[in-house]
Every structure is written in structure tokens, then in C-alpha cells.
Structure 1
């Protein structure tokens, strides 16, 4: 299979220009840039070429919308990239949005071989999916610790963009701990290595060809093209998610019992703060680790484990991949004064419902009493404070700001009544909410 490699050598060119009077071979001994003496060029090929065979193209197939019969073949609905992390077991990591909606999956290797793949599991909150193929002679990527990355490190994106064969692009790490794209589990690596449609699910590599992240999204000024802002899920999160999927078939996350929302300009003014980055504690569940740590409503978490907190997703990214019993150092503001505490992580119950004094968490959403100004003239008393990406409530279409009208046809006028209604054995759960002047019916499948 033809391999198209795009490699920017601007860094090397600038350095060579500045050292034109020095023999290249002699200068190579004093510079960290890898030098191929036989060809007389600077190149990262030696480290990267070991990884390129492990980068694959993933094709997702689904049933066509036309006339169907038992003999109707599944048709391609999307393509993306992936990377083999375990050659012995044929384990491939890609993005959830690459395989979403598919009924069959195929994997193309760089050597031209084609395999049918089995979907092991997915995690929408981190946009990670795990596939498996059965084959011999597979290559696998070496995984690096993403916590060792520094802004300015070289980074290489590999994938199958825009219908091209395997393509390599180069850039730098533009930023770390990026969040703010939502309230999901977010702790992205930002890079300016060119990432386009088709790169999704492919690896982000360091200059030695080691995996540091899974390319998942881009910010584009229009048209969906590359504008030099791309995001990757770091290996720290990827390894936890993949391990959970391989072991349990799904991802179970840690919890502290704190109901959080993202700090914004409005809530910052209400709290008398002059910052807009942080996670606001809206409530703590009775008997929870957050309560034991002394956290209270209106505390604003600004750092967890020395990681800056941009929003609620930043906290979820750390708590959600911490082993049960882990102790997390938390820095927070109370009445504008910085304080510190240690919170113990407990394993959250699948589909658990936690009722606090002033708020309720259930199936990935937080609810609280609505203020008069939030009701829009309606009598509905409960409002959705926050919805965690990839959770059952997010899948159902619930969004922050929704006013709860009823659950399974019954009014929910208090947090206790809502907790009881959501805890019913009746499945699926029918939610009716009031949103932007109209009533919306949702179906929740816990």
C-alpha cells in the first residue's frame, strides 16, 4: 500500500541556516535533532518508521437506507484511523465517533491486509472505542507517559485523512490540560500538527514514535479544515479507559460525591470572584468523601493533583481515572480565600443516584431547585445544573438549563420526589422538560 509521508523540516532548516559554516556531521553531535549521516539529512524517520505499521484505517459499515433484503450488504458510513496497542491480542484504539452507528467494522493495515474487526466497547465521555482483530505479524505502538509532556515538544499525527493513504504530519504540543469544550471528561493535548477528517482515532506521537495521545477533534474557522488547532486524548486517560473496557466491557469512574458545575462569568460575579476558570461545588452528598473532606456548596475548585481546573470536566478527568481509595489534593477558594484539602476517591455505583441537601445527581446529570428568574414564568421548580458528556442523560438529550416537568407522567416538584421517580424500576424512563419556551419529551435508558 502506498504510503504518503508529509514531514515539515522548518525547524531543521532554520537551525541549519544559522550554522551554515559548520560541517553538518560535526554539528549533529552537538544538537538533539537526529541526523542520518549516510544521507546527510536530518530525519525523525528511524523512530517513527517502527510505529507506522501499527497505524490502521478503520471503516465503519451500516445498512443502507434503500430497499433491504437478507442479502443486502452493509455499506461504508464513515472512515477514520486507529492504532494497534496490543499486537498479541489484536487490540486497536480509535474514536467512538468513528465507529458510532456501525454494524460492521473493517481494518486496513499499512501492508495491504484487510481484517474484519470486533467492537469490544466504547466510552462516549472520552470518545474512545476499542476494536479487536485476529491476525499474525501485527505491529504495535510503544506507549509513553503523557504526564511527561511539555509545551513545545515535537508531535506527529498519523492517519488516513481526506481519502489519502497513510499520512504523517508534524507540529508541536501547543498546550496541555485543555478543556472547556463541554462538561465531559476533558484533559486534552493541543497540537498544531495538521489533523483533518479521517485522522480521527489515529495516534499522536512524540519524536521517538511513541504514543502520547489519540487524535479526537479539531477547531476550525469554517469548512471543517485544518486551522492548526487539534486535540488528542492523552495516554493517561486512554490507558485507563481501554483497561476498563477490556476488563469490564464498560467504563466505571471514580466519584467524590461532589456535584460540580463549570464556573462562568455569571456565577463568578455571584460568588464575588474575578476569575472564570474553576469548578463550582453545588452540593455534596451526605456521607460522601467530599463531605468528609470539608467541601461545601459555593467552594470553587481551582486545582486537583497540581492540575489546573478550567471547568467541571477538568475535575472529572482526574477523579474519573483515579483508582478507588486514591487521595487527591484539592485546592479551592472559599469566600475568595485559597484553602486545601484531600479527597478520597470511591468507585461510583453504576446508575447511582445521590441526593444531597440542595442538589441531586442521577445518571450523569445534576439537578437543583430553580431560582425564580430561571423558571421563565413557569411553575416548574427543578432545573438541570450540569450534564456530563457520554452519560445516559446526555445520550437522552438532556441539557443544562432544562426545567423538569414530569417523570413517567408524574410531576416532580422536589428533589426527593425526583430521586424517587428516577430510581424506579420502570425502564425506559420518560422525561418531560421545559426548554426555550416549549415542552420536550426525552427517553432515558439508564
Structure 2
């Protein structure tokens, strides 16, 4: 093998260093040492004492079928034994939940998740210097999963609050907490997405990160590189009970609004529009004459709601809220939720292919915003051109289905376009091709007038909800 002159290596190093100094510096990983040292004392460990469960209460709990390597296996073996045996009354000690929190004021206000302290008889806050305080629960908000605590202390180390709205996807963030009870654990990652809506709560625009979050991290702070808290770690997506790369934090601006309301009013109020909405799919966009899917499609107007007073209609597509574009349906609820009750806002909706401006006075979100809907023989007709057997709705059926007026009942579905669109027996068709369906005759007239090969939107009531489907007429 022929030796390579050593000066060539030196020359290559010099050339690379001269040509790419910015690239080398740009790819350096951030140093979290100072950030952890400065903010670690502000992060606390939270444990609670709860009344012991009776054997009867425990029998109502079913042990889930977890994978053998799940980190929760040890938990269930500890409390239920290898075979899931239940203790007798009085044998089980007071349970203790474990979570994280952080000090937001030098006089002792502490933030954590509401689920960390739920049902607690006593809340104990432990600081990094091993001091322990019995905390008072100031208030909780289950929708945002935020709890505000107060401990007796002066000159406590408090965090700096930062602007969550300035976060960018790809930005580095750091979490400090007590995963599995290991106190003052720091984990880092990046912001994966912003404005995430979760099935459990669509009024919170969650920050998604890939920071390692595990049981015990709940309620802990999420920091940016400036050492400012930008979120409260709240949830993870997991099939095993442990971290799988998807963590969700509540934006700190949402959190601080909750804190302000808890301190001043003792409860949290949120804006309410009173519509049930869905995403605009590619097929539905075609039926509404849209070039591309966007906006929030209104499937139902709740009685007595602000939307009803503002003359919003089913089939409207909300494309703008107070001047802010709505790209997906999930973007609308957080915007409405943070709007002060009583404020008048402007809506822009797409109705019949034209943009319509509306003004609505935002109401207060009720505890339960869902409508209460409960699921002589009608005249049957042959299957129509989309494969539906439909009939008039009898007065008895109207009462059972909570359909005050209009609509036709789907008695059966045969293989064809309607089945492919997801319609099933028992559905009530309220609108077809953006036109209200008053009765069977109107339904047939609208359907007969639709040109072959065109997709149309069908508004269907099923159970207690309404949703649009797109059917392509063969």
C-alpha cells in the first residue's frame, strides 16, 4: 500500500475549516448546562395522599392487557399481585400520585396538571433543596388540565414566563421533571408541531414535541433556549405507557390566562360559538366548488347558541375568524375558546360558492355543549340512483330521532356510491347538494336534477351528531 503524504490531511483540514466555518457552527448542539442550573431550583416534585380505595372499588377496576415489557407491568404487579388478586378492605395504604410542577411567583404560587392533584386529600410540594410544603389548592381547570397551588414561602425561585406564540417548529426545547419519581430529570428535543388538537380536548392548541416525557413528568415546565417557560407538559401518545416520541404541552399563554381567571374569578370561562364542525375533505371540497380543502364545515347549529343568533347555517364553511384564516377545522375551537365572552367577532363563511360576512357575539362555553339526541310503518320506495332506500319520517320517529322538521330516513343501503360514502341504515338526510330536504318528494327532485358523474354533499344526522358526506352520483 502506498503511503499518503501527511501534509495532504493538514491541507484538507485547512480548506474545510476555511470554507465551512458557518456550517460547522450551525450544526453544533445547544448547551443546556446553564439553563438547567438556573431553572432547576424552580421545578418541584408533587406527591398527593388520597383516601384508600375499598376492595369493592378495586373490583370495579379491570387490569389492562399490557405487553410484557411495558413499564406499567411493575405498577400493576405491585398493587394487584402476579395474578391480579385484590386486597381486603383496610389492607391497602393511602395511594400517592407523583407528578411535577414549577414555581411561578416568589411568594409561592405553583403550577401543575389538574390530573396530578385530582382527588387529593393532601398535596405535598418538595423543592430541589429537599424542603417540603403542604400546598393549598387554589383552583383547577379540567379542560386545560391546569391546577394552581399555593405554598407558604418568600423569596422562592420562580421561573421566567415566555411567549409561546413565538415558538417555531424545529426549535430546541427542554423539560425538567420527575419521570417515574426520579427528581430533577432534564430531557431535551425539538418542537415537532404547533396548534395540535387532541380528541380529549380540542379547545387547547397543544405544542407537540419529541422531548422524552414519561409518567411523573406531568405538570412540569417546557423551556425554550432563553430559559423561559413556554408550555406545561401534559400528555403523551403511547401504546405501552412509556415515551414513544410524541409529547404534548399546553402553551404557557393559555396556562397563564387560566391562572389569571382562577385567581380573580375562581373559575375559567371560555368562548363558545355553538357549532359542530368537521374537516373539509377533498371530496367535500369538490361538492362545494372549492379549489382546495380549507375551513371548518358546519354540520350542526346548537339551539340557543351564538351561531344560531348570527344566522350561521349548516353547510356554511367558516374560512376566517376575526381576520385569521381557518385552514382546518381543528384551528377554530382554540381561537373561539380564548375569545372573551361577550366580544363581537367577524366570521367569513363560504355559502353557496360565495363569501358571506357575519358578526357573532361570543357566548360562554357550557359544561356540556352536546345536544341531547335519542335514537307506524313508513312508505318504502325502491333504491335510488345512489343505492339508498329512503322514506318519509313518521311523527313517532321524529320524536325518537329528535328531528323537528324535514329530512328523510335511510331505511337501507345497497352496494353503491352511498355505501362507499359511509351512509348506513337509520341515518336522517337533512340536506342534499347544499339544499334543505323537506320531505321525500324534495329529496327525489334534488337527486334527479344532479348531473351524472358529479360529487354532492349530503348532511346526515346520526345519533346525537351531524356530519357531511360526499357522494359521487354514477
TM-score (norm 1): 0.65
Residues 1:151 and 2:169 aligned together: yes
Matched pairs, number: 342
SS of the aligned residue for 1:208 comes to coil
SS of the aligned residue for 1:366 comes to coil
| Aligned partner (choices 324, 333, 337) of residue 316 of structure 1 | 333
| Aligned partner (choices 289, 300, 303) of residue 282 of structure 1 | 300
Which residue of structure 1 lines up, in the alignment, with residue 229 of structure 2? 211
TM-aligned CA deviation for residue 329 of structure 1: 4.5
Which residue of structure 1 lines up, in the alignment, with residue 47 of structure 2? 59
Deviation string, structure 1 residues 360-396 (Cα, Å, up to 9, x no partner): xxx3323468699999x9972239xxxxxxxxxxxxx
| Aligned partner (choices 41, 44, 49) of residue 37 of structure 2 | 49
Contact map agreement 1:155 1:207 (CA 8 A) in 2: yes
Which residue of structure 2 lines up, in the alignment, with residue 191 of structure 1? 209
Contact map agreement 2:103 2:109 (CA 8 A) in 1: yes
CA distance in structure 2 between the aligned counterparts of 1:321 and 1:205, rounded to whole angstroms: 23
TM-aligned CA deviation for residue 254 of structure 1: 2.3
CA distance in structure 1 between the aligned counterparts of 2:354 and 2:100, rounded to whole angstroms: 47
Which residue of structure 2 lines up, in the alignment, with residue 96 of structure 1? 114
| Aligned partner (choices 359, 367, 371) of residue 366 of structure 1 | 371
TM-aligned CA distance change 1:339 to 1:175, over 3 Å: farther
Contact map agreement 1:178 1:190 (CA 8 A) in 2: yes
Which residue of structure 2 lines up, in the alignment, with residue 382 of structure 1? 402
Q: Which structure 2 segments of 5+ residues have no match?
A: 1-12, 55-87, 376-389, 404-425, 427-462, 465-474
Residues 1:243 and 2:250 aligned together: no
Contact map agreement 1:301 1:309 (CA 8 A) in 2: no
TM-aligned CA deviation for residue 338 of structure 1: 5.0
CA distance in structure 2 between the aligned counterparts of 1:275 and 1:18, rounded to whole angstroms: 53
Residues 1:122 and 2:153 aligned together: no
Deviation string, structure 1 residues 181-231 (Cα, Å, up to 9, x no partner): 2454221011111111111111111111101111111112x2112111111
Residues 1:21 and 2:17 aligned together: yes
Deviation string, structure 1 residues 24-79 (Cα, Å, up to 9, x no partner): 9x979x96899xxxxxx96233344322211111112101236889xx99824311
| Aligned partner (choices 98, 104, 107) of residue 79 of structure 1 | 98
Q: Which structure 1 segments of 5+ residues have no match?
A: 1-16, 35-40, 352-362, 384-402, 404-433, 436-446
Q: CA RMSD in A?
A: 4.2
TM-aligned CA distance change 1:275 to 1:165, over 3 Å: same
SS of the aligned residue for 2:161 comes to coil
Mapping for residues 258-337 of structure 1, pairs under 5 Å: 258-263=274-279, 268=284, 275=293, 278=296, 280=298, 282-283=300-301, 289-291=306-308, 293-305=310-322, 306=324, 308=326, 310-311=328-329, 314-335=331-352, 337=354
TM-aligned CA distance change 1:292 to 1:229, over 3 Å: same
Deviation string, structure 1 residues 327-384 (Cα, Å, up to 9, x no partner): 44434333455555454434x2866xxxxxxxxxxx3323468699999x9972239x
CA distance in structure 2 between the aligned counterparts of 1:50 and 1:121, rounded to whole angstroms: 28
TM-aligned CA deviation for residue 302 of structure 1: 4.2
TM-aligned CA distance change 1:369 to 1:271, over 3 Å: farther
SS of the aligned residue for 2:255 comes to helix
